[in-house]
Amino acid sequence: MLIAEGLSKRYGSRPVLKDIHLQVFKGECVGILGPNGSGKSTLIRMLAGEDQPDQGQIWLQDQDLFAYSPRQRAQMMAILIQESLGELPFNVREVVMMGRHPYQGKWPWSNETDDQIVEDILQKLNLQSMRNRLLSELSGGERQRVALAKAMAQQPKLLLLDEPTTYLDIQYQLRMLTLLKEWQVDQSLTIVTVLHDLNLAAQFCDRLILLKDGVIQHMGTPREVIQSKWIEQIFGVSCSVIDHPTRKVPQIFVEVHASPTASVSSA
């Protein structure tokens, strides 16, 4: 589905990505993990064609990614990045309908199919009650749900996400990831996502990539990647790893070593 060969990127004199090789198969979910500044967001933007590598090549369905026109790319993939909506002066339904533009003609008039797709997505993401609210009136978490709805309205074969659970409370984090998993299974959707929560990544992703200083350090199944020695190496924290009681995937418990002289003052 998606292949990256030897990707490297520098911003000025600073290397951001170094010799990245990866292959993403149709219908799988790949999670990208790593500390801040490790190159995760740059990699997602590059895989989406929004940033070109200094070296290397990206293949989407056996064709050079940059050989596709923007319209062709938009029909095949969607990307959700942080603050991707900006300050658009539109209401929620209008923003979600923008996801249908790659399939519309010169004039972006919706048809019955577009309307039905948008209505279904508004319902699945529990956005019907705010359909007429302006984007500027929404909280960060609500905007994030609208951004996902817009991306899914594109009906992509490949979905790229940069920290999709940002601004969401735990209820909506789980609801969003569960919905993405359902889409993945039902539609053979391929997903590549940056996540900060390693435990959620282990529960929802088929494979994980550990990135540090622009280099892929480890890649494999959650059980292969979520190991205490790798977590300490990449994130610099001590932890214990045990199986989730029902999902049987590895979960991390960070070990906090408080200073013996530390104290908490009373209010």
Q: What is the edge-to-edge ordering of all strands in the sheet holding 14-24? A: 14-24, 2-11, 55-60, 63-64
Q: What percent of the chain has pLDDT over 90?
A: 75
**pLDDT, tens only, 75-108:** 999 999 866 677 778 999 999 999 999 988 766 6
**Element of type H or E holding 144:** helix 140-153
> Does some domain include residue 264?
no
At 191, the pLDDT band (50, 70, 90 cuts) reads very high
> Does some domain include residue 260?
no
> Does some domain include residue 261?
no
Residue 205: which domain range?
2-254
- Long-range pairs for 252-259 at CB < 8 Å and ≥24 separation? 252/198, 252/199, 252/202, 252/226, 252/228
> Does some domain include residue 236?
yes
Q: What percent of the chain has pLDDT over 70?
A: 94
> Does some domain include residue 66?
yes
- The mean pLDDT value for 248-253 works out to 94
**pLDDT, tens only, 158-180:** 999 999 988 888 988 998 899 99
**pLDDT, tens only, 97-138:** 999 999 887 666 778 999 999 999 999 898 999 999 999 899
Domain containing 8 — which CATH number?
Answer: 3.40.50.300
pTM for the whole structure: 0.89
Residue 266 has pLDDT above 50, yes or no: no
> Does some domain include residue 55?
yes
Count structural domains, the chain.
1
> Does some domain include residue 170?
yes
> Does some domain include residue 184?
yes
Distance CA 97, CA 150 (A): 7
**In DSSP terms, which residues pair with 17 in a beta bridge?**
9
